[in-house]
Chain A
Amino acid sequence: MTLAVFTLLVAMGSFAAGLLGALTGLGGGIIVVPMLTLLFGVDLRYAVGASLVSIIATSSGAAAAYVREGFTNVRIGIFLEVGTTIGALVGAAVSGLIPTSALAVLFGCVLLYTAYRSFQTPEDHPTDAPPHPWAVRLRLNGTYPAASGPRAYTVHGVPGGLGIMFLAGILSALLGIGSGVVKVLAMDRMMKLPFKVSTTTSNFMIGVTAAASAGVYLHRGYVDPVIAFPVMLGVLGGALVGARILAVVKARPLRLVFLAVVIVMAAQMLYRGFTGGL
Protein backbone atom coordinates (compact mmCIF):
# COMPACT_ATOMS: atom_id res chain seq x y z
CA MET A 1 0.00 0.00 0.00
CA THR A 2 1.36 3.43 -0.90
CA LEU A 3 1.16 6.34 1.47
CA ALA A 4 -1.47 8.07 -0.71
CA VAL A 5 -3.79 5.03 -0.58
CA PHE A 6 -3.17 4.52 3.16
CA THR A 7 -3.96 8.18 3.89
CA LEU A 8 -7.14 8.09 1.83
CA LEU A 9 -8.46 4.86 3.37
CA VAL A 10 -7.61 5.86 6.95
CA ALA A 11 -9.24 9.28 6.42
CA MET A 12 -12.40 7.61 5.08
CA GLY A 13 -12.58 5.12 7.95
CA SER A 14 -11.98 7.89 10.49
CA PHE A 15 -14.66 10.03 8.85
CA ALA A 16 -17.13 7.15 9.27
CA ALA A 17 -16.04 6.71 12.91
CA GLY A 18 -16.50 10.44 13.63
CA LEU A 19 -19.87 10.50 11.86
CA LEU A 20 -21.23 7.43 13.67
CA GLY A 21 -19.86 8.69 16.97
CA ALA A 22 -21.59 12.06 16.62
CA LEU A 23 -24.88 10.62 15.37
CA THR A 24 -25.18 7.89 18.00
CA GLY A 25 -23.64 9.89 20.85
CA LEU A 26 -21.45 6.91 21.67
CA GLY A 27 -18.13 8.48 20.73
CA GLY A 28 -16.37 7.37 17.56
CA GLY A 29 -12.93 7.36 19.20
CA ILE A 30 -13.45 3.89 20.54
CA ILE A 31 -13.35 2.31 17.05
CA VAL A 32 -10.30 4.23 15.76
CA VAL A 33 -7.68 2.08 17.50
CA PRO A 34 -9.25 -1.28 16.47
CA MET A 35 -9.61 0.04 12.91
CA LEU A 36 -5.94 1.07 12.69
CA THR A 37 -4.57 -2.10 14.29
CA LEU A 38 -6.93 -4.73 12.84
CA LEU A 39 -7.57 -3.34 9.34
CA PHE A 40 -4.38 -1.40 8.60
CA GLY A 41 -1.85 -3.38 10.65
CA VAL A 42 -0.63 -0.30 12.52
CA ASP A 43 1.35 -0.89 15.73
CA LEU A 44 -0.84 -0.43 18.82
CA ARG A 45 1.32 2.41 20.22
CA TYR A 46 1.06 4.47 17.02
CA ALA A 47 -2.69 3.77 16.94
CA VAL A 48 -3.15 4.97 20.54
CA GLY A 49 -1.16 8.15 19.84
CA ALA A 50 -3.20 8.98 16.72
CA SER A 51 -6.51 8.22 18.41
CA LEU A 52 -5.81 10.41 21.46
CA VAL A 53 -5.03 13.39 19.25
CA SER A 54 -8.24 12.93 17.24
CA ILE A 55 -10.33 12.71 20.43
CA ILE A 56 -9.09 16.15 21.47
CA ALA A 57 -10.35 17.61 18.18
CA THR A 58 -13.91 16.34 18.58
CA SER A 59 -14.12 17.05 22.30
CA SER A 60 -12.94 20.64 21.95
CA GLY A 61 -15.24 21.25 18.99
CA ALA A 62 -18.36 19.89 20.68
CA ALA A 63 -17.63 21.14 24.22
CA ALA A 64 -17.97 24.77 23.14
CA ALA A 65 -21.53 24.19 21.91
CA TYR A 66 -22.63 22.23 24.99
CA VAL A 67 -21.23 24.80 27.43
CA ARG A 68 -23.23 27.47 25.60
CA GLU A 69 -26.45 25.45 25.85
CA GLY A 70 -26.03 25.29 29.63
CA PHE A 71 -26.03 21.52 30.18
CA THR A 72 -22.35 21.23 31.06
CA ASN A 73 -21.61 21.57 34.78
CA VAL A 74 -18.24 23.31 34.54
CA ARG A 75 -17.49 22.99 38.28
CA ILE A 76 -18.10 19.24 38.28
CA GLY A 77 -15.97 18.99 35.14
CA ILE A 78 -13.04 20.83 36.71
CA PHE A 79 -13.27 18.91 39.98
CA LEU A 80 -13.33 15.53 38.25
CA GLU A 81 -10.55 16.54 35.83
CA VAL A 82 -8.20 16.40 38.81
CA GLY A 83 -8.96 12.66 38.95
CA THR A 84 -8.84 12.00 35.20
CA THR A 85 -5.56 13.89 34.58
CA ILE A 86 -3.78 12.09 37.43
CA GLY A 87 -5.20 8.82 36.09
CA ALA A 88 -4.06 9.67 32.54
CA LEU A 89 -0.48 10.35 33.67
CA VAL A 90 -0.44 7.11 35.71
CA GLY A 91 -1.81 5.24 32.68
CA ALA A 92 0.84 6.76 30.40
CA ALA A 93 3.56 5.85 32.92
CA VAL A 94 2.58 2.16 33.12
CA SER A 95 1.50 1.66 29.48
CA GLY A 96 5.00 0.69 28.38
CA LEU A 97 5.11 -2.07 31.01
CA ILE A 98 1.92 -3.81 29.94
CA PRO A 99 2.18 -6.37 27.09
CA THR A 100 0.18 -5.44 23.98
CA SER A 101 -1.75 -8.72 24.19
CA ALA A 102 -3.09 -7.70 27.61
CA LEU A 103 -4.02 -4.27 26.27
CA ALA A 104 -5.88 -5.94 23.38
CA VAL A 105 -7.90 -8.07 25.84
CA LEU A 106 -8.66 -4.99 27.96
CA PHE A 107 -9.73 -3.15 24.82
CA GLY A 108 -12.05 -6.02 23.85
CA CYS A 109 -13.69 -5.89 27.29
CA VAL A 110 -14.22 -2.10 27.10
CA LEU A 111 -15.78 -2.49 23.62
CA LEU A 112 -18.14 -5.19 24.92
CA TYR A 113 -19.10 -3.00 27.87
CA THR A 114 -19.80 -0.10 25.47
CA ALA A 115 -22.07 -2.37 23.41
CA TYR A 116 -23.86 -3.54 26.56
CA ARG A 117 -24.41 0.02 27.79
CA SER A 118 -25.78 1.17 24.45
CA PHE A 119 -28.67 -1.31 24.84
CA GLN A 120 -29.84 0.45 27.97
CA THR A 121 -32.07 3.47 27.65
CA PRO A 122 -30.83 6.51 29.52
CA GLU A 123 -32.90 7.46 32.52
CA ASP A 124 -32.67 10.13 35.15
CA HIS A 125 -32.60 9.26 38.82
CA PRO A 126 -34.42 11.96 40.74
CA THR A 127 -33.79 11.52 44.44
CA ASP A 128 -34.84 13.33 47.59
CA ALA A 129 -31.73 12.30 49.51
CA PRO A 130 -29.61 15.24 50.67
CA PRO A 131 -26.54 15.99 48.50
CA HIS A 132 -23.11 14.73 49.51
CA PRO A 133 -21.36 17.19 51.90
CA TRP A 134 -18.51 17.67 49.40
CA ALA A 135 -21.07 18.70 46.78
CA VAL A 136 -22.16 21.55 49.05
CA ARG A 137 -18.61 22.55 49.98
CA LEU A 138 -17.50 22.52 46.31
CA ARG A 139 -20.76 24.11 45.09
CA LEU A 140 -21.33 21.29 42.59
CA ASN A 141 -25.13 21.31 42.72
CA GLY A 142 -26.58 22.99 39.66
CA THR A 143 -29.43 23.50 37.24
CA TYR A 144 -30.00 22.51 33.64
CA PRO A 145 -32.40 23.83 31.00
CA ALA A 146 -35.69 21.92 30.79
CA ALA A 147 -38.87 22.67 28.85
CA SER A 148 -40.40 24.29 31.93
CA GLY A 149 -37.31 26.41 32.74
CA PRO A 150 -34.11 25.70 34.71
CA ARG A 151 -34.38 22.52 36.79
CA ALA A 152 -32.23 22.08 39.89
CA TYR A 153 -30.37 18.86 40.76
CA THR A 154 -28.18 17.75 43.64
CA VAL A 155 -24.94 15.79 43.47
CA HIS A 156 -24.27 12.55 45.36
CA GLY A 157 -21.47 9.98 45.73
CA VAL A 158 -18.72 12.55 45.14
CA PRO A 159 -15.68 10.52 46.40
CA GLY A 160 -16.84 7.42 44.50
CA GLY A 161 -17.31 9.46 41.34
CA LEU A 162 -13.80 10.90 41.67
CA GLY A 163 -12.39 7.38 42.12
CA ILE A 164 -14.07 6.08 38.97
CA MET A 165 -12.76 9.15 37.09
CA PHE A 166 -9.22 8.21 38.10
CA LEU A 167 -9.81 4.77 36.51
CA ALA A 168 -11.35 6.43 33.43
CA GLY A 169 -8.14 8.47 33.07
CA ILE A 170 -5.98 5.34 33.23
CA LEU A 171 -8.13 3.59 30.60
CA SER A 172 -8.03 6.66 28.36
CA ALA A 173 -4.22 6.70 28.36
CA LEU A 174 -3.77 2.93 27.99
CA LEU A 175 -6.24 2.49 25.13
CA GLY A 176 -6.30 5.92 23.45
CA ILE A 177 -10.03 6.35 24.02
CA GLY A 178 -12.16 9.08 25.56
CA SER A 179 -13.59 6.65 28.15
CA GLY A 180 -16.88 8.51 27.80
CA VAL A 181 -18.77 5.36 28.76
CA VAL A 182 -16.90 5.08 32.08
CA LYS A 183 -17.17 8.82 32.75
CA VAL A 184 -20.92 8.73 32.23
CA LEU A 185 -21.11 5.69 34.52
CA ALA A 186 -19.48 7.68 37.32
CA MET A 187 -21.67 10.75 36.88
CA ASP A 188 -24.91 9.01 35.98
CA ARG A 189 -24.87 6.06 38.38
CA MET A 190 -22.59 7.19 41.20
CA MET A 191 -23.25 10.92 41.37
CA LYS A 192 -26.91 10.75 40.19
CA LEU A 193 -26.60 13.59 37.69
CA PRO A 194 -29.25 14.07 34.99
CA PHE A 195 -28.28 12.11 31.89
CA LYS A 196 -27.75 15.10 29.60
CA VAL A 197 -25.56 16.78 32.23
CA SER A 198 -23.47 13.58 32.52
CA THR A 199 -22.88 13.21 28.78
CA THR A 200 -22.05 16.85 28.08
CA THR A 201 -19.80 17.22 31.14
CA SER A 202 -18.05 13.98 30.15
CA ASN A 203 -17.37 15.45 26.70
CA PHE A 204 -16.09 18.65 28.31
CA MET A 205 -13.48 16.63 30.25
CA ILE A 206 -12.37 14.25 27.48
CA GLY A 207 -10.08 16.75 25.73
CA VAL A 208 -8.20 17.62 28.93
CA THR A 209 -7.83 13.94 29.89
CA ALA A 210 -6.51 13.05 26.43
CA ALA A 211 -4.13 16.05 26.38
CA ALA A 212 -2.41 14.82 29.58
CA SER A 213 -1.37 11.47 28.10
CA ALA A 214 -0.94 12.79 24.53
CA GLY A 215 1.80 15.11 25.81
CA VAL A 216 3.69 12.18 27.33
CA TYR A 217 3.23 10.02 24.23
CA LEU A 218 4.49 12.80 22.00
CA HIS A 219 7.80 12.78 23.89
CA ARG A 220 7.91 9.00 23.76
CA GLY A 221 7.56 8.98 19.95
CA TYR A 222 4.09 7.35 19.86
CA VAL A 223 2.60 10.19 17.81
CA ASP A 224 3.51 9.57 14.15
CA PRO A 225 2.18 12.60 12.27
CA VAL A 226 1.83 10.57 9.06
CA ILE A 227 -0.67 8.21 10.76
CA ALA A 228 -2.29 10.81 13.01
CA PHE A 229 -3.16 13.44 10.40
CA PRO A 230 -5.70 11.47 8.32
CA VAL A 231 -7.25 10.19 11.57
CA MET A 232 -7.55 13.68 13.02
CA LEU A 233 -8.94 15.31 9.87
CA GLY A 234 -11.27 12.37 9.18
CA VAL A 235 -12.74 12.15 12.70
CA LEU A 236 -13.11 15.93 12.94
CA GLY A 237 -14.82 16.12 9.52
CA GLY A 238 -17.13 13.23 10.40
CA ALA A 239 -18.07 14.80 13.73
CA LEU A 240 -18.77 18.20 12.14
CA VAL A 241 -20.98 16.68 9.42
CA GLY A 242 -22.67 14.47 12.03
CA ALA A 243 -23.57 17.47 14.19
CA ARG A 244 -25.09 19.21 11.14
CA ILE A 245 -27.31 16.31 10.03
CA LEU A 246 -28.15 15.05 13.53
CA ALA A 247 -31.69 16.45 13.38
CA VAL A 248 -32.63 14.88 10.04
CA VAL A 249 -31.33 11.29 10.28
CA LYS A 250 -32.84 8.34 12.10
CA ALA A 251 -30.50 7.39 14.93
CA ARG A 252 -31.80 3.89 15.57
CA PRO A 253 -30.53 2.05 12.47
CA LEU A 254 -27.19 3.84 12.83
CA ARG A 255 -26.98 2.71 16.45
CA LEU A 256 -27.39 -0.89 15.27
CA VAL A 257 -24.65 -0.44 12.65
CA PHE A 258 -22.34 1.07 15.26
CA LEU A 259 -23.18 -1.72 17.69
CA ALA A 260 -22.41 -4.39 15.08
CA VAL A 261 -19.03 -2.76 14.33
CA VAL A 262 -18.21 -2.53 18.05
CA ILE A 263 -19.09 -6.20 18.69
CA VAL A 264 -17.08 -7.49 15.70
CA MET A 265 -14.08 -5.41 16.80
CA ALA A 266 -14.44 -6.60 20.40
CA ALA A 267 -14.34 -10.24 19.23
CA GLN A 268 -11.29 -9.54 17.05
CA MET A 269 -9.45 -7.71 19.84
CA LEU A 270 -10.14 -10.51 22.34
CA TYR A 271 -9.09 -13.17 19.80
CA ARG A 272 -5.87 -11.34 18.89
CA GLY A 273 -5.15 -10.67 22.54
CA PHE A 274 -5.51 -14.29 23.60
CA THR A 275 -3.57 -15.64 20.60
CA GLY A 276 -0.89 -12.95 20.94
CA GLY A 277 -1.33 -11.77 17.37
CA LEU A 278 -1.40 -8.04 17.93
Chain B
Amino acid sequence: MARSDAGPRWSDHAVDQFIGRVLQVGVMLSAAVVIVGAVMLLAVDAGEPADFAVFMGQPDELRSVQGILGGVLDLNPRAILQLGLVLLVATPVARVALTFVAFVIQRDRLYTAMTGVVLALLLYGLIWGRA
Protein backbone atom coordinates (compact mmCIF):
# COMPACT_ATOMS: atom_id res chain seq x y z
CA MET B 1 0.00 0.00 0.00
CA ALA B 2 2.94 2.26 0.56
CA ARG B 3 3.21 5.09 -1.89
CA SER B 4 5.85 6.99 0.06
CA ASP B 5 9.57 6.44 0.43
CA ALA B 6 9.41 3.87 3.17
CA GLY B 7 12.29 1.48 3.70
CA PRO B 8 12.59 -1.76 1.76
CA ARG B 9 10.91 -3.77 4.53
CA TRP B 10 7.64 -1.91 3.92
CA SER B 11 7.82 -1.32 0.19
CA ASP B 12 4.58 -1.12 -1.81
CA HIS B 13 5.19 -4.47 -3.31
CA ALA B 14 5.98 -6.30 -0.07
CA VAL B 15 2.90 -4.93 1.70
CA ASP B 16 0.62 -5.77 -1.23
CA GLN B 17 2.02 -9.30 -1.43
CA PHE B 18 1.60 -9.84 2.29
CA ILE B 19 -1.98 -8.57 2.31
CA GLY B 20 -2.80 -10.71 -0.73
CA ARG B 21 -1.50 -13.74 1.13
CA VAL B 22 -3.60 -12.92 4.21
CA LEU B 23 -6.73 -12.73 2.05
CA GLN B 24 -6.05 -16.11 0.45
CA VAL B 25 -5.23 -17.81 3.75
CA GLY B 26 -8.38 -16.33 5.33
CA VAL B 27 -10.61 -17.68 2.56
CA MET B 28 -8.97 -21.13 2.61
CA LEU B 29 -9.13 -21.39 6.42
CA SER B 30 -12.80 -20.44 6.43
CA ALA B 31 -13.59 -22.92 3.65
CA ALA B 32 -11.83 -25.69 5.64
CA VAL B 33 -13.86 -24.93 8.79
CA VAL B 34 -17.08 -24.79 6.74
CA ILE B 35 -16.32 -28.19 5.16
CA VAL B 36 -15.81 -29.76 8.61
CA GLY B 37 -19.11 -28.25 9.81
CA ALA B 38 -20.89 -29.39 6.64
CA VAL B 39 -19.78 -33.01 7.04
CA MET B 40 -20.89 -33.00 10.70
CA LEU B 41 -24.25 -31.43 9.83
CA LEU B 42 -25.06 -33.80 6.98
CA ALA B 43 -23.99 -36.80 9.06
CA VAL B 44 -26.92 -36.19 11.41
CA ASP B 45 -29.47 -34.04 9.54
CA ALA B 46 -29.21 -35.14 5.88
CA GLY B 47 -32.72 -36.62 5.90
CA GLU B 48 -34.41 -33.67 7.61
CA PRO B 49 -36.83 -31.61 5.50
CA ALA B 50 -35.31 -28.41 4.07
CA ASP B 51 -37.79 -25.57 4.35
CA PHE B 52 -36.54 -22.00 4.47
CA ALA B 53 -39.64 -20.26 3.12
CA VAL B 54 -40.56 -18.63 6.42
CA PHE B 55 -38.08 -16.29 8.06
CA MET B 56 -37.66 -17.11 11.74
CA GLY B 57 -34.22 -15.67 12.33
CA GLN B 58 -31.37 -17.59 13.85
CA PRO B 59 -31.16 -18.59 17.54
CA ASP B 60 -29.14 -16.20 19.69
CA GLU B 61 -26.37 -18.77 19.85
CA LEU B 62 -25.65 -18.28 16.13
CA ARG B 63 -25.89 -14.49 16.11
CA SER B 64 -22.89 -13.37 18.13
CA VAL B 65 -19.23 -14.31 18.18
CA GLN B 66 -19.43 -15.38 21.85
CA GLY B 67 -22.48 -17.54 21.18
CA ILE B 68 -20.87 -19.17 18.17
CA LEU B 69 -17.67 -19.98 20.10
CA GLY B 70 -19.77 -21.55 22.85
CA GLY B 71 -21.57 -23.70 20.27
CA VAL B 72 -18.27 -24.75 18.70
CA LEU B 73 -17.08 -26.06 22.09
CA ASP B 74 -20.31 -28.12 22.24
CA LEU B 75 -19.46 -29.46 18.74
CA ASN B 76 -22.72 -28.07 17.35
CA PRO B 77 -22.39 -28.43 13.53
CA ARG B 78 -24.35 -25.22 12.89
CA ALA B 79 -22.03 -23.26 15.18
CA ILE B 80 -18.96 -24.70 13.41
CA LEU B 81 -20.44 -23.69 10.04
CA GLN B 82 -21.19 -20.23 11.39
CA LEU B 83 -17.62 -19.92 12.72
CA GLY B 84 -16.32 -20.60 9.20
CA LEU B 85 -18.64 -17.91 7.80
CA VAL B 86 -17.57 -15.40 10.49
CA LEU B 87 -13.92 -16.10 9.62
CA LEU B 88 -14.79 -15.28 6.03
CA VAL B 89 -16.49 -12.00 6.98
CA ALA B 90 -13.45 -11.17 9.14
CA THR B 91 -11.03 -11.62 6.20
CA PRO B 92 -11.65 -8.23 4.52
CA VAL B 93 -11.72 -6.65 7.99
CA ALA B 94 -8.22 -8.06 8.56
CA ARG B 95 -7.14 -6.60 5.23
CA VAL B 96 -8.31 -3.13 6.26
CA ALA B 97 -6.62 -3.51 9.67
CA LEU B 98 -3.28 -4.44 8.05
CA THR B 99 -3.56 -1.56 5.60
CA PHE B 100 -4.24 0.75 8.55
CA VAL B 101 -1.05 -0.45 10.28
CA ALA B 102 0.97 0.03 7.07
CA PHE B 103 -0.24 3.64 6.77
CA VAL B 104 0.53 4.34 10.44
CA ILE B 105 4.08 3.08 9.95
CA GLN B 106 4.45 5.25 6.84
CA ARG B 107 3.07 8.29 8.75
CA ASP B 108 0.52 8.88 6.03
CA ARG B 109 -2.03 10.77 8.13
CA LEU B 110 -4.69 11.19 5.48
CA TYR B 111 -4.87 7.51 4.59
CA THR B 112 -4.45 6.42 8.21
CA ALA B 113 -7.60 8.43 8.96
CA MET B 114 -9.50 6.98 6.01
CA THR B 115 -8.64 3.33 6.75
CA GLY B 116 -9.35 4.07 10.43
CA VAL B 117 -12.90 5.20 9.59
CA VAL B 118 -13.54 2.13 7.41
CA LEU B 119 -12.11 -0.18 10.08
CA ALA B 120 -14.25 1.40 12.81
CA LEU B 121 -17.40 1.02 10.67
CA LEU B 122 -16.62 -2.63 9.93
CA LEU B 123 -15.92 -3.50 13.57
CA TYR B 124 -19.06 -1.65 14.61
CA GLY B 125 -21.14 -3.80 12.24
CA LEU B 126 -19.40 -7.05 13.15
CA ILE B 127 -19.22 -6.65 16.95
CA TRP B 128 -22.24 -4.56 17.86
CA GLY B 129 -24.29 -5.45 14.83
CA ARG B 130 -26.52 -2.44 14.83
CA ALA B 131 -26.74 -0.14 11.87
Chain A interface (Cβ < 8 Å from any Cβ of B): 1-7, 40-43, 45-46, 53, 56-57, 59-61, 63-65, 67-68, 74-75, 78-79, 81-82, 85-86, 88-90, 92-93, 138-139, 207-208, 210-216, 218-230, 232-233, 236
Chain A residue nearest to B20 in the complex (CB): A64
Contact check, A229 vs B84: say whether CB atoms are below 8 A apart: yes
* Docked CA distance A226–B79 (Å): 10
Nearest chain A residue, comparing its CB with the CB of B16? A67
Interface string of B41-80 (1 = CB under 8 A from A): 1100111111011111111001110000000000000100
How many pairs of residues, A versus B, come closer than 8 Å at their CB atoms? 201
| A85-B63 in contact given A2-B46, A74-B1, A211-B89 (Cβ < 8 Å) | no
Sorted from nearest, which 7 A-B pairs have the closest CB atoms? A219-B129, A221-B57, A64-B20, A215-B125, A215-B126, A6-B50, A225-B81
Residues of B within 8 A of A53 (CB): 85, 88-89
Partner of B118, one of A7, A82, A218: A82
Interface pair A3/B92, CB less than 8 Å apart: no
Closest B residue to A1 by beta carbon equals B50
A211 cross-chain contacts in B, Cβ below 8 A = 89-93, 122, 125-126
Inter-chain pairs besides A57-B88, A222-B58, 5 sampled, C-beta below 8 Å? A42-B52, A89-B124, A212-B121, A219-B63, A229-B37
Measured between alpha carbons, how far is A35 from B6 in the docked complex, in Å? 48
Assembled-state Cα–Cα distance A236/B64 (Å) = 25
Q: Are the CB atoms of B92 and A89 closer together than 8 Å?
A: no
How many whole Å from B8's CB to the nearest CB in chain A? 18
Asked if B48 and A3 make an inter-chain contact with CB atoms under 8 angstroms apart, the answer reads yes
**Which residue in chain B gives the minimum CB-CB distance to A93?**
B131
Question: B107 near A: Cβ within 8 Å?
Answer: no
B interface residues (Cβ-Cβ under 8 A, vs A): 1, 3, 16-17, 19-21, 23-24, 26-27, 30-31, 34-35, 37-38, 41-42, 45-50, 52-59, 62-64, 78, 81-82, 84-86, 88-93, 95-96, 99, 110-111, 114-115, 117-118, 121-122, 124-131
Across the interface, which residues of B come within 8 angstroms of A224, CB to CB? Answer: 52, 58
Task: Find chain A residues with CB under 8 A from B84 CB.
Answer: 229
Which of B17, B49, B95 is A68 in contact with, Cβ under 8 Å? B17
Q: Which residues of A sit under 8 angstroms from B55, Cβ to Cβ?
A: 43, 45-46
Contacts of B111 in A (CB 8 A): 75, 78
Instruction: Given A5-B50, A64-B20, A74-B1, answer yes or no on A229-B122 (Cβ-Cβ < 8 Å).
Output: no
Complex Cα–Cα for A85 and B130 (A): 14
Nearest CB of A to B13, in Å: 9
Q: Which residues of chain A are within 8 angstroms of B118 by Cβ–Cβ distance?
A: 78, 81-82, 85, 208
Q: Give Cα distance in the complex from A88 to B86, angstroms.
A: 18
Q: Are B88 and A56 in contact (CB under 8 A)?
A: yes
User: Does B122 contact A215, Cβ atoms closer than 8 Å?
Assistant: yes
**A60 in contact with B91 (CB, 8 Å):** yes
Cβ distance B43 to chain A, nearest Cβ, rounded Å: 11
Asked whether A67 lies within 8 Å of B42 as measured between CB atoms, the reply is no
| A4 contacts B42, C-beta separation under 8 Å | yes
B130 touches A219 (CB 8 A): yes
Q: Would you give 15 A-B contacts (Cβ < 8 Å), ordered by A?
A: A1-B49, A3-B42, A3-B49, A46-B52, A60-B23, A67-B19, A74-B99, A90-B131, A208-B95, A211-B91, A211-B126, A221-B56, A225-B37, A225-B82, A233-B34
